[in-house]
Amino acid sequence: MPLEDSIPFPCPFCGIENTAPVDLTGGKRQKFVVDCENCCHPILIKFEVGDDGVENFRSEKE
C-alpha cells in the first residue's frame, strides 16, 4: 500500500471537483479542512484508512 493518495470529490458548496491529499500513515480515522480550489469555502474531509486504503470518505460543509 502506498503511503500517500489523493481522492477526488465534489465541493459541497459549488459542485466543482477538488482533490484531497491523503496521508495513509496518519492514523485510522482522520479529518481535516481544505479550501475549495474554485470557491474557497472550507470543506471538512473525514475518512478512515483500512487495509485496502481509504474507506468511508466524506466531504461536507465546514
The angle at the Cα of 25, spanning 23 to 29, to the nearest 5 degrees, equals 80
Query: How many distinct structural domains can be found in the chain?
Result: 1
Report the predicted TM-score, pTM, of the whole model to 2 decimal places.
0.86
Q: Is the pLDDT of residue 1 over 90?
A: no
Domain containing residue 55: 4-61
Each residue of 42-58: pLDDT tens digit?
999 999 999 888 999 99
Q: Is the pLDDT of residue 26 over 60?
A: yes
DSSP string, 13-51: TT--EEEEEEETTS-SEEEEEEE-TTT--EEEEEEEEET
